[in-house]
Structure 1
Amino acid sequence: MLCPTRCYIAGVLSYVLLLSTLATAKVAPRVHRHLAVYDTMDIFVTFTSHQAALDRVASTPAHRDHRTRVFEALRDHAIASQKAALALLHDHTSKSFWISCSAVVHNASASIVAALALLADVVTIEPISVVELDPVLAGVDDNTTSTDVEWGVATIGAPAMWPITNGSGIVVGSIDTGVRHSHEALKSNWRRHRGWYDPYNRTRLPSDDTGHGTHTTGTMVGRHGIGVAPGAQWIACKGLLNGRGTSAALLECAQFMLCPTYSDGNHPDCSQGADVVNNSWGGATFHPWFEGAVAAWHKAGITPVFSIGNKGPACASAGNPGGYPNVLSVGAVGSHTNDPSQLAYFSAKGPATYKDRRGVVSKLIKPVVAAPGFFIRSAKFTGNHRYGQLAGTSMAAPHVSGIVALLKSHDPALTYDDIYKLVTETTERASLQPEPTTWAMPCNVTAPGAFNCGGTPDTTWPNNRYGYGRVSVTNMMRHLDAATLVSAPFPVVALARVALPDATPVPIALVTYTKQVLAAWDDCLITDTVHNTTHERFYYDAHRQVLQSEHLHGHCLDVIHDVVVQWKPCNDAARSQKWRLEDDHIASVLLPGSCVDIQTPGPRVTLAPCEPFALTQWFRSTVTTELQSPRATIFVRLTTKDRRVLARDGHDVASRRALDTIYEVFEYDAHTQLLQTGDTTAPLCWTAHGTSLQLLPCDASATSQEWTIDGTHRRLRQGEWCVEVAPNRVEVQLARCQYAHVGQWIDAIYVSV
């Protein structure tokens, strides 16, 4: 019989040996090899997955606090799972990433690596990954501010969507080499507040050291015909320095896109995050280090778009993370002659190799879709008026990111699955060319055609060449409900129009939401109070598309330097004097997507990217004699204690953060006590229905539509019943007035003059 003590010792030794084996398995062989030669190295440590923490967050992406809840769940999980590791690393320089439950440790020794590997929450220890941009082809440069829509934007059909939405209200994120923020095509829609982060140098303003990011951002949101969604705002993070990016920097950028910070990396605000993120970067082989970030983006309602890479034309050349199963990966179409039916020779092909957390390897059909990517003309980083052509799947991906911005602007409630379905089920396929027998490459090099990659026939959809096909906004619009095309994100109001027959033109006034008017003074267009003079009277010829001043006889509204509007002698041949008065906007014909705007400080009026619901671009056409009639109405914005606004949402009233749209402004008549929307054709009035609120046709005899704005107590009430907003809720209801109840604190901010 063996001694019990010897049995115990043998068991302990077996356990220690097993533990050592398991711990060693967590450490990548490259780490072992490096530390066998050198004393220290920088390492990347992953901890237990945060998926369970994400699953516990309710899926309510439309809720104003949803992203904050996602952030808090990720942060709390990271703190708990990394607590023991951070205690070990108290005298080491390290950086933790809540978005992927990982960390980088600088100058880690073999003993530190061994100690970390023994921790139960540590999953892997690897070298820090470095991503290098695929080379792109450069075409011609120019300094011409064109008014033409670029071939890629036209090919996907984006202009067909612009009369409905041009991306307004959406924030597009760029993780790339940076952006030249002062470029003429990009400067007006950079969101300055928490709009830039550089994890390498903490620079205060956006910059770009290679031009790659400026070009891709221009294709997404640029003005002057280069951008798919010119009404969207952009924010950016410098994930790549001189064309190379570390996993640490790219994860910092991923966090910034979910919860943007100031340029110093502090004070995150998740309500300011991106709606779609373009990633025109990737590695050659599969690696899961960015999967946690993608999962977090999905939970937060952010759509990830990745280029598939430029390693074509061979099969199985798809890049990473473009090869992940839950991203929109994009291949490129195009040629030296801008042929949209041909796959670009460099566009990588599937299948993509993917290994899940259980170690199961799958072959995925990639890319998901294709988009124009050959010699795309966009903004160049070398000057504020410079443009250049580049070719690569990096140029294709931002076309799809721009499409996502258009779709989300049309309907903010769209999920990733909704967008994936729309994008993939509406592609153009019939015109796409088959794989050639031989590819003609640069420098007289040829490459054999790669047919039926991964065993998937090229004649089936999806395939490993084009994915589901070439994206088509035109086809998407046919799939969208016609009713929603004119009602999203909030119902588009058709205000009263003034008939302006060419033979007998009628003088009109253009009234702002503040009940000021546009006026002609000297050669300028300004905002002014109503004086009922010729300065405020205009004639609009719908056939000739000209707006003429009565005061400045023979002068028409003109646009100069793409932003300045002035009165110039009328010239029918000048496209800069062509305007469309529609949807309560004054839109430039010369510069599609540009509208007259009064948001610039001071009275002078300028041009800005059109935003269908922007208050500062809303002008009501009215016969000038109507201005002489006294009105008892005022415009008000109704704000809550926590700085939200009450806004029209279809036939309901909702509480949300301010977007500065016409749906946040109501017209109040002190005589009738009606509180109505700004729709002068068929206005809707606030109506009490039990304890709920609805917007119904106005009826001056209905007591349910009589409201008192109580400025003393900051209440909106009907008798003893007050409007009430629950904390962190969008619903608005009626409840008995309680003057200590902060949920009933409604401040009426008068915006009339």
Structure 2
Amino acid sequence: MKKSHYCFLILLVILSPLVVYLISVDLPKSYNKLKLSADFNAQSYLGLEDPLNEGLTGNNITVAVLDTGIYETHSVFGGLNWEDKIIGYYDWEINGTTTPPEDVDPNSHGTIVSSIIAGDGSTRDDPFSPLDDYSGIAPNSNLLSMKVFYDSAEDITSDVGTLENAIEWLKYNKDNYSVRVASMSLGVSYKSSENIKRYLDNLIDSLVDNNILTVVAAGNDGEFGLGTIESPASAESALSVGAVDNNGEMATFSAKGPTYDNIIKPDVCAPGVGIKGAIKGGTYSYGFISGTSASTPFVSGLAALLLEKKNNLTALELKNIISLTSYRTIGPRTIKDNIQGWGVVQGYAAIDALNPPTEITTN
């Protein structure tokens, strides 16, 4: 890295009120093109093909997914042995019910985002499926499934109280499930009242205060221009995620900042167009999802990998490592903006930032 680039990055970190943790990292030397293999492996989207992923799988890390529930008997969650993967289930739409009902995830939204985070198809035995190697970003991570709304994640205004109950419960029970990351592919419209948005943002801030990295979808109203970030992605402490297509180009729907209180968002972007994942309907059922709902679990899974490598990272340290190792495909590389944030997440660069500096000896 050129010295001038390094100094410029550090200067931005010091001056920005959005960054509370200073870390020196090399800017990614090149942008890893996103790609889809026939046998879907989510890690390939983030430049984490072997051996670049260092064998990290999210082992012993739990991600809480606050969504529409989960089709727990899908093969990527272990089929009939799903309790080895999904270590907790709570339905906050039915007063904290702990047993998944038969119709647990009517539209598969929670199922597909969970599979992008932690799906593991390595033990599948379906001879008729071409997706035997399906894998999420952190296939050995655990899931805490928390159902906080029924149908669409587009606007959860009517479920704000339910979300609050779930978040309060999570803060007090996180250690029982070793939760370090919360993934939320949900939000209220950018047109919602400032009171509602600020209320939700405060809930997210309280989660991060409890050392839970909270990864939130930026929203899908980007076609309407600037200022379309949803809440709680607008929370200053949230790691807000926009979407790019498989060529690294911004998805037209990806919401843009600034927030209602003029914070630059999103923080980063990840793949969010035509993403394959597990859906309800059968043990080996798959479908596609587009939206920032799809890009969010990529980042949540990456956080699980980083925590496996260095478990004592704080939520804010995680946020800044992921952000500052991202790669901007538009505009200046060292400036965060309201379209792409810090850029497209780069899995290898984030993991490599945790490695000790290489010592160079000379004769």
TM-score range, shorter chain: 0.7 to 0.9
Residue 196 of structure 1 aligns with an amino acid whose one-letter code is Y
Corresponding residue pairs, total:
293
Matched, 1:365 2:264: yes
Matched, 1:351 2:351: no
State the match for 1:257 in structure 2: 170
CA offsets per residue over residues 161-216 of structure 1, 9 Å max, x none? 54432000100110000100000011356557860111222261262111100010
Q: State the distance in 2 between where 1:180 and 1:483 align.
A: 43
Alignment of 1:102-117 (within 5 A): none
SS at 2:289's partner residue? strand
Matched, 1:235 2:144: yes
SS at 1:463's partner residue? coil
Contact residue 349 and residue 367 of structure 1 kept, 8 A: yes
SS at 2:63's partner residue? strand
Contact residue 77 and residue 86 of structure 2 kept, 8 A: no
Contact residue 259 and residue 272 of structure 1 kept, 8 A: no
Moved more, 316-325 or 190-199: 190-199
Change (3 A) 1:232 1:189: farther
State the match for 1:449 in structure 2: none
Change (3 A) 1:480 1:459: closer
The TM-score with structure 1 as length reference comes to 0.37
Alignment of 1:463-502 (within 5 A): 463-482=337-356
Contact residue 349 and residue 464 of structure 1 kept, 8 A: yes
Contact residue 317 and residue 349 of structure 1 kept, 8 A: yes
Q: State the distance in 2 between where 1:190 and 1:329 align.
A: 30
Residue 213 of structure 1 aligns with an amino acid whose one-letter code is G
Contact residue 196 and residue 235 of structure 1 kept, 8 A: yes
Q: Following TM superposition, by how much is the alpha carbon of 1:477 offset from its aligned partner in structure 2, in angstroms?
A: 3.0
CA offsets per residue over residues 283-306 of structure 1, 9 Å max, x none? 123412224432332232211000
State the match for 1:333 in structure 2: 244
Matched, 1:303 2:213: yes
Q: Which 5+ residue runs of structure 2 have no aligned equivalent? A: 1-36, 122-133, 359-363
Question: Among residues 98, 113, 132, which one is paired with 1:216 in the alignment?
Answer: 113
Q: State the distance in 2 between where 1:463 and 1:387 align.
A: 35
Contact residue 220 and residue 229 of structure 1 kept, 8 A: yes
Alignment of 1:272-671 (within 5 A): 272-285=177-190, 286=194, 287-313=197-223, 314-334=225-245, 338-339=246-247, 341-354=248-261, 363-429=262-328, 432-433=329-330, 461-482=335-356
Contact residue 174 and residue 277 of structure 1 kept, 8 A: yes
Q: State the distance in 2 between where 1:424 and 1:289 align.
A: 25
Contact residue 108 and residue 280 of structure 2 kept, 8 A: yes
Matched, 1:174 2:65: yes
Q: Following TM superposition, by how much is the alpha carbon of 1:416 offset from its aligned partner in structure 2, in angstroms?
A: 1.8
Q: State the distance in 2 between where 1:147 and 1:232 align.
A: 23
Residue 174 of structure 1 aligns with an amino acid whose one-letter code is V
Alignment of 1:92-131 (within 5 A): none
Q: State the distance in 1 between where 2:321 and 2:149 align.
A: 31
Residue 349 of structure 1 aligns with an amino acid whose one-letter code is K
Q: State the distance in 1 between where 2:264 and 2:84 align.
A: 36
State the match for 2:25 in structure 1: none
Alignment of 1:734-745 (within 5 A): none
SS at 2:138's partner residue? coil
Contact residue 189 and residue 233 of structure 1 kept, 8 A: no
The TM-score with structure 2 as length reference comes to 0.75
Q: State the distance in 2 between where 1:168 and 1:459 align.
A: 33
State the match for 1:158 in structure 2: 48
Q: Which 5+ residue runs of structure 1 have no aligned equivalent? A: 1-145, 261-268, 355-362, 435-457, 485-753
Residue 305 of structure 1 aligns with an amino acid whose one-letter code is V
Q: State the distance in 2 between where 1:414 and 1:189 align.
A: 29
Change (3 A) 1:256 1:158: farther
Contact residue 350 and residue 365 of structure 1 kept, 8 A: yes
SS at 2:307's partner residue? helix
Residue 219 of structure 1 aligns with an amino acid whose one-letter code is I
SS at 1:315's partner residue? coil
Contact residue 92 and residue 148 of structure 2 kept, 8 A: yes
Bigger relative contact order, structure 1 or 2 (CA pairs below 8 A, ≥6 apart):
2
Q: Following TM superposition, by how much is the alpha carbon of 1:254 offset from its aligned partner in structure 2, in angstroms?
A: 1.2
Q: State the distance in 2 between where 1:163 and 1:461 align.
A: 29
Change (3 A) 1:480 1:466: same
SS at 1:275's partner residue? strand
Q: State the distance in 1 between where 2:238 and 2:263 align.
A: 12
Contact residue 191 and residue 235 of structure 1 kept, 8 A: no
CA offsets per residue over residues 236-273 of structure 1, 9 Å max, x none? 1111112255111111221343344xxxxxxxx74325
Q: State the distance in 2 between where 1:433 and 1:299 align.
A: 32
Q: State the distance in 2 between where 1:301 and 1:233 align.
A: 18
Q: State the distance in 2 between where 1:192 and 1:409 align.
A: 16
Change (3 A) 1:368 1:483: same
Q: CA RMSD in A?
A: 2.4
Q: Following TM superposition, by how much is the alpha carbon of 1:153 offset from its aligned partner in structure 2, in angstroms?
A: 3.1
Q: State the distance in 2 between where 1:226 and 1:310 align.
A: 26
Q: State the distance in 1 between where 2:84 and 2:357 align.
A: 31
Question: Among residues 189, 196, 199, which one is paired with 2:92 in the alignment?
Answer: 199
Q: State the distance in 2 between where 1:241 and 1:172 align.
A: 20
Contact residue 229 and residue 257 of structure 2 kept, 8 A: yes
Q: State the distance in 2 between where 1:381 and 1:483 align.
A: 45
Question: Among residues 161, 165, 186, which one is paired with 1:248 in the alignment?
Answer: 161
Q: State the distance in 2 between where 1:282 and 1:331 align.
A: 13
Q: Percent same amino acid among aligned pairs?
A: 28
Change (3 A) 1:147 1:234: farther
Q: State the distance in 1 between where 2:99 and 2:353 align.
A: 43
CA offsets per residue over residues 539-565 of structure 1, 9 Å max, x none? xxxxxxxxxxxxxxxxxxxxxxxxxxx
State the match for 1:690 in structure 2: none
SS at 1:381's partner residue? coil
Q: Following TM superposition, by how much is the alpha carbon of 1:384 offset from its aligned partner in structure 2, in angstroms?
A: 1.4
Q: State the distance in 1 between where 2:77 and 2:49 align.
A: 18
**Bigger fraction of residues in strand:** 1
Contact residue 332 and residue 343 of structure 1 kept, 8 A: yes
Contact residue 178 and residue 214 of structure 1 kept, 8 A: yes
CA offsets per residue over residues 695-718 of structure 1, 9 Å max, x none? xxxxxxxxxxxxxxxxxxxxxxxx
Change (3 A) 1:189 1:171: farther
Change (3 A) 1:381 1:330: same
Q: State the distance in 2 between where 1:191 and 1:237 align.
A: 16
CA offsets per residue over residues 423-463 of structure 1, 9 Å max, x none? 1121122xx256xxxxxxxxxxxxxxxxxxxxxxx776201
Q: State the distance in 2 between where 1:169 and 1:416 align.
A: 17
Q: Following TM superposition, by how much is the alpha carbon of 1:472 offset from its aligned partner in structure 2, in angstroms?
A: 0.4
CA offsets per residue over residues 448-495 of structure 1, 9 Å max, x none? xxxxxxxxxx776201111000000111233222489xxxxxxxxxxx
State the match for 2:125 in structure 1: none
Q: State the distance in 2 between where 1:162 and 1:168 align.
A: 13
**Bigger fraction of residues in helix:** 2
Which structure has the bigger radius of gyration? 1
Change (3 A) 1:460 1:386: same
